[in-house]
Structure 1
Amino acid sequence: MTVVKVFVNYKESILNPEAQAIQQALGRLGYDNITQLKVGKSFELTFADGMTREAIEKEVNEISDRMLANYNMENYTYEISESEDLS
């Protein structure tokens, strides 16, 4: 089985009020060394055996573009790994 982890974050030019609030709260708690904090979403997709890496990448990009990330405000990256079936 192939597992793909998709990470979605706001683009640099987009204000992220949740991240700003967390960073300010951390500062009030004494964690002053944090210069940037990002808040995003992550998704884990498990693909059936038999698909090529190219087919998986194509499908992940389509899914991310159409459903997981708002292309006007967000970017996404992903990691592909093989997983042992533990069942």
Structure 2
Amino acid sequence: MKATVTVMLKSGVLDPQGEAVKSALGSLGFDGVAGVRQGKVIELDLAQGTTQADVTAMCEKLLANTVIESYRVEMHP
């Protein structure tokens, strides 16, 4: 079983990496980008019997800084 965890900064938290990407895209002539938020995707190969609750606990304890980040867990068979 696999899980995909997507971690993003919460809205209202400044995203300097996203701003740098937006600026670089503008410099390359891509003027149609109004905003960029950068995050991370974590793919987990899970042992049999690992539940979504287990992955959520992983996110709460290590994978996401829940003060400034939100996360989404997707489980895959």
**What is the TM-score with the length of structure 2 in the denominator?**
0.91
1:69 aligns with 2:68: no
CA distance in 2, matches of 1:15, 1:3: 31
Tell me which structure has the larger Cα radius of gyration: 1
Instruction: Report the Cα offset of residue 36 of structure 1.
Output: 2.0
Unaligned runs of 5+ in 2: none
> Structure 1: which 5+ runs fail to align?
83-87
1:30-83 alpha-carbon deviations (Å, 9 max, x no partner): 10111221211111111122x2xxx5111111000110111110000121111x
Aligned to 1:85: none
Q: CA RMSD in A?
A: 1.1
Give 4+ residue runs of structure 1 displaced > 6 Å after superposition: none
Q: How many residues align?
A: 77
- 1:6-45 alignment runs, 5 A limit: 6-45=5-44
